[in-house]
Amino acid sequence: MGITAWFSSPNLCKLYDTNERLFEGLRRLDNSAILCVQTKAINSVRKFVGQYRLPAELADDILNQSTLIFLQKIEDGSYQFQNHAPSTYLIEVARRVALMATRTQKNTTETLENQHHLADSGIETDSKRIEATELVRLLLGHLGQPCEQIIRLQHIDGYSDEEVVQQKLTKYSTTDSLKMKRSDCMKKLIQLAQQWKTSNNT
């Protein structure tokens, strides 16, 4: 990076001059769109942290947690674009997350990432989704290699089959063989999930 670039102040929202463009960027999970909306919300988040007398270092965790909830809502369609600024919604989510943090602050010093009971109140987070995330995180560990890697590359890291093959990220040299293997792995993962549910319900 040149010294000029280092000194120039990046305008994160340059690409998103309208609320609709910003929403589209968020839906595509563009990093710059997420950074833009976070930049617009960060001062309010810091204000909430001050208002609710939370430790200042929690501001970042609250912003991350709120962003995660917001992106989930965009993805599952519970947040629809209605010409309002997406940052307004994110700020409201952050306010609620901060409020919840005040309740949990007394009992634990865990980071917000681990405070999934926050969602149990049903305020903003979907407890089922969090439960599912935790379950899959656990089951991926049980799956072992190469299944864990194959599923991660496609479903978490966002690589296409072509990219995985071209960059030789796995031992599979064709997209067909990769797809076949992933299909097996996914079936195995679903079975594991089913077994997990059965064993926990009985």
In angstroms, the Cα distances linking 95 to 48, 62, 183 are 6, 9, 41
Which of 49, 100, 130, 150 is the binder for another protein (CB under 8 A)? Answer: 130
Among 85, 99, 169, 193, binds another protein (CB under 8 A): 193
Q: Alpha-carbon distance 40 to 87, whole Å? A: 6
Question: How far apart, in whole angstroms, are the C-alpha atoms of residue 194 and residue 202?
Answer: 12
Given 19, 64, 88, 175, the residue binding another protein (CB under 8 A): 64
Using rule CB under 8 A, residue 50 touches another protein: no
Residues 6+ apart with CB under 8 A from 19: 81, 83, 84, 85, 86
Residue 71 makes contact with another protein by CB under 8 A:
yes
Residue number with CB closer to another protein (19 or 32): 32
Question: Is residue 175 a contact point for another protein (CB under 8 A)?
Answer: no
- Read off the tokens for 136: 């899959």
For the chain, the first-to-last Cα distance in angstroms comes to 58
Which residues here bind another protein, judged by CB under 8 A? 6-7, 9-10, 12, 29, 31, 34-35, 38, 60, 63-64, 67-68, 71-72, 75, 128-137, 139, 151, 154-158, 183, 186-187, 189-191, 193-194, 197-198
